Amino acid sequence: MRILQVCHHVLPQHRAGVEVYTDGIARALLKRGHEVTVLTTDDDGTRRPWSLRRDEQDGLSVLSIAHPRVARSPDDTLGRKEVDEAFVRALDETQPEVVHFQHLMYVGLSAPARVRERGIRSVMTLHEYWLLCARGGQMLRADGEVCAEAERETCARCLGDFRFGRTPGEARIACVCGWVRRLTGWDPFPALKRMKERGQDRKPSADMALRHGPPEGMLDWIDRRSDRVRALWDVVDRFLCPSRFLMETFVRGGWPADRMRWSPYGIPMTAFDTQPSPSVSAPLRIGFIGTVTPAKGPDVLARAQALLPRGTSTLSIWGSVTASPSYAARVRASLVPGEASFAGPFPAGCSGEALAQIDVLVVPSIWYENAPLVISEAFRNEVPVVASRLGGMAEMVTDGVDGCLFDAGSADDLARVLRTLGEDRDVLARLRTGITSPRTVDDDAGALESVYEELIGEPA
């Protein structure tokens, strides 16, 4: 089959869960003998806007649309005519038999309609809640509170302070950074972002937007966006949901239940060296793997570890700090000297090496995570997981069987759990034996192959 995988970002420039999954499933399908192309967007600033470029990334064909990320108004986030035209050119070039949308951000909400117009079948995986929540898809309000559902007026107030994209001036700065990175290998963008964040820290709190009525025109925009999102129901053939929690959330939001399917993530079979259980006297080795941002909650973990008796634990934080430099600096400053450290990011596919160095992985996210790949990777490496009792995390971790759950955002409750694991290593050993091996990426690719074949065989 000729398969087009569509995602807003790809490895190695971006390494969040959606990008890691898209890369893994594309390569698994390629290995099964299919002709696979990944279509993405590229914002390095060194190309003519909206142009197409094909690259090979370790044998995987990647077709990218140059996208400056400028949003002169919220409507630009729904899709731009220039991107739509570039997407059509990509369809002409790849001639896919099936299109799998992993994410529509930057690609635009009209892309599935362009696919349907050509009689091509399409699948969409819902990795988070962006189609319900325009504020990054995390169902988190400006004041950090979790939303149970998308409510029109609350969403409009919450988006009052939200930046939907770059200004034209910021796009020019990003372009200069792109050229500097290409010519010197040094990227000035993170330093500039830290400077910008320090300036934003001096502004009034973001939750002020929630204390007033919706900004002028925002309610109308919410309605336009909702209409555009609902139009997807008529042009996408299958919606795949990696967690039942996410699927139920979308169905409650009115999405067509008859076209929603539960489809858990598959992960690569990676080699690892299982570490022996530490002695009772050894410190409990705690790990965090993920982007260091407020929604991921590493500050909660740092505060929890600080509550443990000195000398009883160590904490290693692996992940990029470039998404929110000021926040990362605050987390770093709160770490217990000599017992906690930032280990930095590791190369793609090397999570097993990090997991082999810890006794327990903590996933302290404060938002409704869908189905974090890092939990599956930990289970693949026989590492128990302590996770927030929230969203898809509570679905993946069985409390007391293969890990433990704690109250989201509570450093005290997390410290309680970690103290128990540190003091009673028999509990930790029992959790390790309770782990069930997760789905492999090859099993996932085989299931997708069946979905694709079924759709191609159906009359248009």
Note the pLDDT tens digit of each residue in 127-138.
Answer: 999 999 999 899
What is the arrangement of strands in the sheet containing 340-342, beginning at the earlier edge strand? 340-342, 313-318, 284-289, 360-363, 385-388, 403-406
List 63's β-bridge partners, or say none.
39, 54
Q: Say which amino acid occupies 392.
A: G
Confidence of residue 206 (pLDDT cuts 50, 70, 90): very low
Say if 278 falls within a structural domain.
Answer: no
Say if 192 falls within a structural domain.
Answer: no
Q: Do 25 and 81 belong to one domain?
A: yes
**SS3 of residue 378 by DSSP:** helix
Confidence of residue 16 (pLDDT cuts 50, 70, 90): confident
Q: What is the mean pLDDT of the chain?
A: 90
Which CATH number does the domain housing residue 328 bear?
Answer: 3.40.50.2000
Confidence of residue 272 (pLDDT cuts 50, 70, 90): low
What's the confidence (pLDDT) of residue 348?
67
Say if 196 falls within a structural domain.
Answer: no
What contacts 315, CB < 8 A, 6 or more positions away? 286, 287, 288, 301, 302, 305, 335, 336, 339, 340, 341
Dump strand ranges (E) for 290-334: 313-318
The pLDDT of 56-73, averaged and rounded, is 94
Q: Do 323 and 400 belong to one domain?
A: yes
> Please, are residues 286 and 384 in contact by the beta-carbon 8 Å criterion?
no
Say if 203 falls within a structural domain.
Answer: no
Confidence of residue 213 (pLDDT cuts 50, 70, 90): low
Closest CA to 262 of 371, 133, 99, 377: 371
- Given a cut of 60, is residue 273 above it in pLDDT? no
User: Containing H/E element for 42?
Assistant: strand 35-42
- Buried b / exposed e across 390-415, counting CB within 10 Å, b at 16+? bbbbbbbbbeeebbbbbebbbbebbb
Say if 273 falls within a structural domain.
Answer: no
Q: Do 334 and 452 belong to one domain?
A: no
Say if 208 falls within a structural domain.
Answer: no
Q: Do 246 and 337 belong to one domain?
A: no
Q: Do 45 and 124 belong to one domain?
A: yes
Closest CA to 253 of 149, 147, 152: 149
411-423 and 298-306 helices, crossing angle to 10°:
60
What is the arrangement of strands in the sheet containing 52-57, beginning at the earlier edge strand? 52-57, 60-66, 35-42, 2-6, 98-101, 121-125, 238-241, 260-262
What's the confidence (pLDDT) of residue 113?
98
Q: What is d(CA 167, CA 250) in angstroms, rounded to the nearest whole number?
A: 32
Q: Do 305 and 253 belong to one domain?
A: no
Alpha carbon distance, N-terminus to C-terminus of the chain: 17
Q: Do 337 and 428 belong to one domain?
A: yes
The pLDDT of 208-222, averaged and rounded, is 75
- Given a cut of 90, is residue 184 above it in pLDDT? no
Q: Do 258 and 369 belong to one domain?
A: no
Domain that holds residue 306: 284-433
What is the radius of gyration, based on Cα positions, of the chain?
22
Q: How far is CA 105 from the centre of its chain?
A: 12
Tokens for 344? 């930095």
Q: What is the pLDDT of residues 218-258, one digit of tens each?
A: 999 999 999 999 999 999 999 999 999 999 999 999 999 99
Write the DSSP symbol of residue 113: H
Q: What is the pLDDT of residues 338-389, one digit of tens each?
A: 999 999 887 766 788 899 999 999 999 999 999 999 999 999 999 999 999 9
Q: Do 238 and 382 belong to one domain?
A: no
Q: How many CA atoms lie within 13 A of 285 on its CB side?
A: 13
Q: What is d(CA 42, CA 67) in angstroms, rounded to the nearest whole number?
A: 6
What contacts 422, CB < 8 A, 6 or more positions away? 283, 284, 308, 312, 313
What's the confidence (pLDDT) of residue 198?
58
User: Containing H/E element for 57?
Assistant: strand 52-57
